[in-house]
Amino acid sequence: MTIVARMLTQEHDGIGGYMAHPDGAGPRPGVLMAHHAHGVTADYKIDAYRLAALGFNVLAPSLFNMLGVPGTHHIGAGAELQAKHSDGEFLDKMGEARRYLVERMHSDPARTAAIGHCMGGRLLIPFAADHPKLRAIVLYYPSVRDEPETSHRPRHAFKLAKTLTCASLVFCGGQDYIATPAIQGPLWQSFIANGQPVEWHFFSDANHGFRHPDNDGFQPHYADLVWPLVTDFLQRRV
């Protein structure tokens, strides 16, 4: 199978980021990747290519580029950018990216899924609530905190997860310093509240960011361990 893969830019494509898909006509199942606070780092390109080799159209949009922030990655800038831009702004750009995945990349709108890490995983919870046709979501250590709702983050994951109808695959770690085990417990209860399919994996010594080589929490053995779980889940659910 021949894979077409390339970087995307706001100037030439109307969207920044990275895309990969099998060569030839669609439609195909599509996967949207919502990045972590460091932006579209190299591991997103690797995973997008690997998913394309399994027959998926994959789009990893740079939400930061779409919000007017230049650069191909944003290591160290994520906290400031999240403080500057509201969840609503990020979710609007994720909606634009999903339309690009369906309309420009010829993905089957009835067979789309999304993968999110950290910030992207947290944002996928309201995104999935707003897009009930999404078939499945994969969340790596979503950066959910026990915090009040504000105009900046008006809808908490504890409430929204109870409304989801798509299948969910969630990875959490006992050493996560953001979504700590004390937060993971009520989040799990919210995910299972209305009976949607949930596959939840807890690794007692896993760090926040275990998938990302650019993250201090990188643990390659866990990155390798969960990948077959991700591909099996997507192939069954999408």
Residue 114 in contact with residue 137, Cβ under 8 Å? yes
Could you report the per-residue pLDDT of 34-64, keeping only the tens digit for each?
999 999 999 999 999 999 999 999 999 999 9
Residue 174 in contact with residue 181, Cβ under 8 Å? yes
Q: Give the model's confidence band at 70: pLDDT under 50 very low, under 70 low, under 90 confident, else very high.
A: confident
Look at the block and give the residue holding tokens 């006992």.
174
pLDDT above 90 coverage of the chain, percent: 90
**pLDDT of res. 125:** 98
Q: Please tell me the distance from the alpha carbon of residue 84 to that of residue 82, in angstroms, as a whole number.
A: 5
**pLDDT of res. 100:** 98
Residue 163 in contact with residue 131, Cβ under 8 Å? no
Q: What value does the mean pLDDT take over residues 99-123?
A: 97
Q: Please tell me the distance from the alpha carbon of residue 187 to that of residue 8, in angstroms, as a whole number.
A: 34
Q: Which domains does the chain have, with CATH numbers?
A: 3-70+77-146+153-237 (3.40.50.1820)
Residue 106 has pLDDT above 90, yes or no: yes
**pLDDT of res. 204:** 98
**For residue 112, how far is the Cα from the chain centroid?**
12
Closest CA to 52 of 2, 8, 16: 2
Residue 160 in contact with residue 73, Cβ under 8 Å? no
- Measured from the Cβ of residue 208, the count of other Cβ atoms closer than 10 Å reads 22
Residue 164 in contact with residue 194, Cβ under 8 Å? yes
**pLDDT of res. 185:** 96
Look at the block and give the residue holding tokens 């929204």.
160
Q: Give the model's confidence band at 233: pLDDT under 50 very low, under 70 low, under 90 confident, else very high.
A: very high
Could you report the per-residue pLDDT of 2-23, keeping only the tens digit for each?
999 999 999 999 999 999 999 9
**pLDDT of res. 82:** 77
Could you report the per-residue pLDDT of 76-89, keeping only the tens digit for each?
676 788 778 899 99
72: Cβ–Cβ under 8 A, 6 or more apart, which residues? 7, 39, 40, 62
Q: Please tell me the distance from the alpha carbon of residue 195 to that of residue 152, in angstroms, as a whole number.
A: 29
Q: What value does the mean pLDDT take over residues 99-121?
A: 97
**pLDDT of res. 12:** 94
Could you report the per-residue pLDDT of 148-204, keeping only the tens digit for each?
999 999 999 999 999 999 999 999 999 999 999 999 999 999 999 989 999 999 999
